Structure 1
Amino acid sequence: MVGADDDDVAGKVEAELPAVTAEADVEVKDFHFPPVLNGLDFLQSAVKSLSGEDGSPAPRDLKYAVLHLQAAAETLFKARLEMEDPSLVWSKPATFDQAKHEAGIFHSCGINAALERLRDDVGIETAIEPKNADLEALANLRNRLQHFGAKDTTIAVQARTIPVLDLLLNFIDADVLPHDSSPEAWDAQLQMDDIRAGFRHLKDFVAHRLEALGEVLDTFKDYTVACLSCGQFAVVLDGNESVQCSLCGRPYGGGSDAAWEFAGTSYYSVVTDGGDTPVHDCSECGTAAVFAAPLASSDGAEVLICFADGNTFEGICQYCARAADFALEEAEMCQDCLDTRFAKF
């Protein structure tokens, strides 16, 4: 039973609450994120978290920077599709329903499909391949964080995200803002000013770190591969016992361990699952550490290189299955195998 005192308290509380009626002209602004501003908000958060104080963000900031950058990419690509035709955002455009679309009751396309539609259906100016290597590397890092956890250095995460940030800023300037006729278009322009300033600070910081290594790395470019963490050509294969990235410090272990890590598999998996091995024995040092990877000097072309001693080779000998330069080009035969065959005569 409610007493008189309780009635007095309830009356006072009710009197202090603002009246909200169906006729009240209330403009709700506390949770309003239209597509473009939503994507820019994720992007702004990522840039701020990546920069931190003097280029040294906290680990938790880095985690959310990766998650928010991935969300920014997906949101902004789909925001541009939405401008062209909302049905393009759906995984199956033919099933588009406006009511369900506004309620969010549908399956949207993935980033690869979004990029295909931006290229083929929208005809965007920015050249972005659907299977962009930088976007895929970011997605892999995000998946590790989301599902398994991840361990990396600050500079590795910063360097890995810069190409994606660069791509997104070019895309926004060329293909989003010029087509944004929404009431929030001016707000988007202002937000981009802040994002650009933060990105320049981050980019300059990482460039300074790279510049300090530039002269040394240029000397070793014929046997330097790109780091799996930071994405920079900073892993010098110079015959040291352990392989490590000069920029972000990621360790790869010995030459053989490094080769298998770059191959994305293991000797055990190859033996168990069958198939051709991606890692071969080196005809110079004898280590199972030769893998085909782009070098800093190869302009994207894959080169067979030994992760243990840094030697490069023409191919795999068809007789001994070692990586080697061919003494007999027509037969893809190394010098040792050729000498052995001639010794029989």
Structure 2
Amino acid sequence: MEKKKNIKIEFDLLENGLDFIDNALHAIISTEEPHKLKYAILHISAGIELILKEILRLEHWSLLFENINNANYNHLQSGDFQSVSFPSIIKRLEGITNGNISENQKKHFNIVRKKRNKIEHFSFKESSNALKSTISKALTDIIEIIDENIEIQNTSDESKRLYKSIRRESSKFIEFVDLVRAKLKHDLKTLEERNIKLIDCPECFQHLFPLDGSYTCLFCGYTDTPENITALYADTILDYNSYYAYKNGEECPIKQCLSCKNETLILHENSAFCITCDSNWEIEDLALCSDCDEFYEKPEDERSDYGVCPDCWQNKLDSYD
């Protein structure tokens, strides 16, 4: 009986991260099998985190420890230490190295991590279109960060090979997204003629979720109740966390709609739009009621604005009867 070879498996930090991503991309492009797509998210998330750690390591190896005061090179070599957490990675990249990360990049990486956490700790439901869209955005971001912070030509031959493979495979994701959007050209024109507002889909992040009462994304097919769509939008698009918002005194971006009175009005940048009834306003045209803390439309005559909404004003008048 032939003796099996004892093969030595060895990846440096960058190779390890690139290999995770390359493996995931090949799986996603070549199959629609649910379990392979599931593991692809796990591998993409792990790969991104390892590459960001490599950028920290290039600055100084002690940055790979969650508590820098406990940094010990022997522990680093053995792997017996508490590695830097993802929030700390981002904070250190912004404050110590030249690896500044944009808000969009942080958002895309966090979305991948949230999906990974759902897989590891809960149930998981995802369309292949949404998955590919999510990965295409995170992939574009990590490639940009690599180009800005790592000199690939000075890395190992394996890192160079993996990086070239990732760049090649990533173009297929871009082509996929472009192809789906091209097929929607007629639908988009119809929506434009009807003056229907489009928002970012909270599932796939394509700007293809129409406020037309269908509650369905044109790109990935995500659909749910208006309340659940609103909550997911606040979570994924606005990165809103109720616990941290309460702790830090941040305002909730979800309000009661002026028209339908459902708690599905979303405040985003300079606009407010309702998932339930499709109504939308410019923020500058709204005021916050001092009594009920809900929005109302400012009257054309500013002199008739008493700082309260019409319902609360009527309640005040009724109380004098």
TM-score (norm 1): 0.74
2:125 to 135, 139, 151: 151
1:1-345 aligned at under 5 Å gives the runs 30-53=8-31, 57-124=32-99, 127-128=101-102, 132-178=106-152, 181=154, 184=156, 186-214=157-185, 216-217=187-188, 219=192, 223-238=197-212, 240=213, 242-253=214-225, 255-263=226-234, 279-284=254-259, 286-294=260-268, 301=269, 303-313=271-281, 314-319=286-291, 323-327=295-299, 330-334=305-309
Task: Look up the equivalent residue of 2:276 and give its one-letter code.
Answer: A
Give aligned-pair identity as a percent.
Answer: 21
* SS of corresponding position for 1:292: strand
**Aligned in 2, Cα 1:73/1:229: closer, same or farther, shift over 3 Å?**
same
CA RMSD of aligned residues (A): 3.5
* SS of corresponding position for 1:231: coil
* SS of corresponding position for 1:324: strand
Quote how far apart the aligned CAs of 1:256 are.
4.3
1:133-186, Cα deviation, whole Å (9 max, x unpaired):
1111111111001110210110011111111101111122221234x745x2x3
**Aligned in 2, Cα 1:32/1:150: closer, same or farther, shift over 3 Å?**
same
- Aligned partners of 1:90 and 1:107 also within 8 Å: yes
* SS of corresponding position for 2:204: coil
- 2:238 equivalent in structure 1: none
**Aligned in 2, Cα 1:90/1:320: closer, same or farther, shift over 3 Å?**
closer
**Aligned in 2, Cα 1:341/1:122: closer, same or farther, shift over 3 Å?**
closer
- Partners of 2:48 and 2:103 lie apart in 1 by 14
- Partners of 2:257 and 2:231 lie apart in 1 by 14
1:11-45, Cα deviation, whole Å (9 max, x unpaired):
xx8xx869x9xxxxxxx863011111111101101
Query: Relative to structure 2, which stretch is displaced further, 212-221 or 198-207?
Result: 212-221
- 1:25 equivalent in structure 2: none
1:165-208, Cα deviation, whole Å (9 max, x unpaired):
01111122221234x745x2x33222211111111012111221
- Aligned partners of 1:290 and 1:304 also within 8 Å: no
Task: Look up the equivalent residue of 1:132 and give its one-letter code.
Answer: K
- Partners of 2:221 and 2:233 lie apart in 1 by 16
- Aligned partners of 1:279 and 1:288 also within 8 Å: no
Q: Tell me the matched-pair count.
A: 299
* SS of corresponding position for 1:304: strand
- Partners of 2:72 and 2:223 lie apart in 1 by 51
Structure 1 unaligned segments of length 5 or more: list them: 1-12, 21-27, 295-300
Task: Look up the equivalent residue of 2:118 and give its one-letter code.
Answer: R
- Partners of 1:339 and 1:172 lie apart in 2 by 60
Structure 2 unaligned segments of length 5 or more: list them: 236-241
* SS of corresponding position for 2:131: helix
Quote how far apart the aligned CAs of 1:243 are.
1.3
**Aligned in 2, Cα 1:227/1:315: closer, same or farther, shift over 3 Å?**
farther
Query: Relative to structure 2, which stretch is displaced further, 135-144 or 327-336?
Result: 327-336
- Aligned partners of 2:287 and 2:298 also within 8 Å: yes
- Partners of 2:229 and 2:103 lie apart in 1 by 29
- Aligned partners of 1:52 and 1:58 also within 8 Å: no
Task: Look up the equivalent residue of 1:205 and give its one-letter code.
Answer: F
- Partners of 2:104 and 2:63 lie apart in 1 by 15
**Aligned in 2, Cα 1:37/1:105: closer, same or farther, shift over 3 Å?**
same
- Partners of 1:84 and 1:257 lie apart in 2 by 43
- Partners of 1:112 and 1:41 lie apart in 2 by 23
* SS of corresponding position for 2:224: strand
- Partners of 1:33 and 1:221 lie apart in 2 by 54
- Partners of 1:304 and 1:146 lie apart in 2 by 35
Structure number with larger C-alpha Rg: 1
* SS of corresponding position for 2:109: helix
**Aligned in 2, Cα 1:205/1:261: closer, same or farther, shift over 3 Å?**
closer
Task: Look up the equivalent residue of 1:195 and give its one-letter code.
Answer: I
Structure with greater proportional strand content: 1
**Aligned in 2, Cα 1:17/1:257: closer, same or farther, shift over 3 Å?**
closer
TM-score (norm 2): 0.79
- 1:4 equivalent in structure 2: none
